[in-house]
Structure 1
């Protein structure tokens, strides 16, 4: 709440410099703020009496938005990239997928490697475990196995996380 929106009878007033002016009536606090051509801003509404500060509210809001924007810039969004294989994927094709997985891990993304089974392939799930072992060993320089290979319906999946995190 700012200026005329403050409905309390008395407030604890803090000056622009952070100096406490004591408990004063709201009208008096508003008059002091008007003399300095600044706003009266309610900082702590739950205190007894509420705490108000004299400040330039527009500048305060601008600085606050600037800080929030900086915080958003610094945060890293981790996304999950998926690579799909099949039990009879050839060696060269797996090497291409490994190269792609290394790129994703270097960028800081997690990688989901999945092997899709069709028809009779479902009876030979041990092939997928071999593929996953080779895959994890090949990318061990850049990432670690976050979630071991596990069956999910007709496919088996393994999650890799970047090593630096």
Structure 2
């Protein structure tokens, strides 16, 4: 696959059925997209977090899901979002970024995946989707925005 300029904006969307293989399909697609756009340095973290968000969608909704990936800041950042049919925003996405998290008890069988997203992503969030589709959208970003400094002469 040829690599294209990473400074051009791009976006990809993938419809996912309610299927336990959806996370694998999402990871494979993400891997191809990031490699094709010269963003392979984000691959390991993006793959882990995408898998967690898609798996959460499969486990806690009973309908299809949609994955969207897009570049931001001239290809220096990546945003991944997953929509599903369940309108309930799960913890820790139900609170703004920056608040301390409470880990699940050690003997818990779940509840750690989205904490990984909170810990590893540079930004993240979620919101309920109102009229039309309904459900919710969870998203995360990797890569810090470039800060421009202005110096007084």
TM-score range relative to shorter protein: 0.3 to 0.5
Larger % of helix: which? 1
Structure with more relative contact order (C-alpha pairs < 8 Å, separation 6 or more): 2
* TM-score, normalised by the number of residues in structure 1: 0.32
Question: Which structure has the greater CA radius of gyration?
Answer: 1
